[in-house]
Homo-oligomer: A and B are copies of this chain.
Amino acid sequence: MFDYSKLKDHICKRQNLSADEAEEFCASFSFVRVKKRQFIVQPEFVAKYRFFVIEGSFRAYVIGDGGEEHTIQFAIDNWWITDYNSYIFQQPASMFVMALEDSLVLQISFDAERMLKKASHTYETIFRILAEHTAAHMARRVILNLTKTAEQRFEFMLEKYPDIVNRVPQYALASYLGMTTEYLSKLRKRRVNAKKLI
Contacts and interface: CB of A to CB of B under 8 A. Distances in A.
B85 A145 contact: no
Contacts of A65: 147
Most chain B beta-carbon contacts within 10 A, residue among A125, A131, A133: A131
A176 to B, nearest CB: 8
Q: Which of A72, A88, A127, A136 has the most CB of B within 10 A?
A: A136
A32 to B, nearest CB: 23
Given A117-B125, A146-B178, A139 B136 contact: no
Contact of A139 (B85, B127, B145): B85
A146 B70 contact: yes
A142 B145 contact: yes
Nearest to A175: B146
A131 B139 CA distance: 12
Contact of A85 (B72, B117, B140): B140
A122 to B, nearest CB: 9
Interface of A: 62, 64-65, 70, 72, 84-85, 88-89, 94, 117, 120-121, 124-125, 127-128, 131-136, 138-143, 145-147, 175, 178
Given A88-B133, A142-B145, 8 more contacts: A85-B136, A127-B128, A131-B131, A131-B134, A134-B135, A142-B142, A145-B145, A146-B178
15 contacts: A62-B147, A72-B142, A72-B143, A72-B146, A84-B136, A85-B139, A85-B140, A94-B143, A117-B128, A121-B124, A125-B128, A135-B135, A138-B139, A141-B142, A142-B142
Which are the 5 A-B pairs with shortest beta-carbon distances? A138-B138, A131-B131, A128-B128, A135-B135, A121-B121
